[in-house]
Amino acid sequence: MQDVQRQLFTESVMAEIELADTGATNAPDLREVLSALGLTDLSQRHPLALSGGQQQRLVVAACVAGRRIVVFGEPSSGVDRRHLTSIAEEIRAVAAGAVVLLISDDEYRLALAADAELTLCALD
């Protein structure tokens, strides 16, 4: 969902990550993911007390927890340029062990994170 607040359920950033952890053998170390996305210092904060970009990065972090298929819909909306790169790197890391579908209308974001692009257009 593009409204990340509808995807946050717990009382802290760390609890959100722990909730998402599937325990799968291919799951990344979620503390490393938090660090890569610049969220380590916020681990005890309530997710809804974070900025919009921080919430977006938290949802991305929760999505990478050992899933076999991951769909990201505009995962970097509201994120500054520095964190756009870290999100793209996490998406690529997930794609090493899962099928990833990235939905975006931003060609720059797609170039950072995707191996192939499929353009869909509406017919009148």
Give the pTM: 0.74
Structural domain boundaries in the chain: 4-113
Nearest-angstrom CA–CA distance, 110 and 22: 27
Answer whether CATH 3.40.50.11540 is correct for domain 4-113.
Answer: no
Nearest-angstrom CA–CA distance, 12 and 39: 11
Q: What is the separation of C-alpha 81 from the centre of its chain, rounded to a whole number of angstroms? A: 15
**Mind listing the pLDDT tens digit of every residue in the chain (124 residues)?**
567 778 889 999 999 888 877 777 666 777 888 888 889 999 999 999 999 889 988 988 887 766 788 888 888 777 888 888 888 888 888 888 889 999 888 888 889 889 898 888 877 7
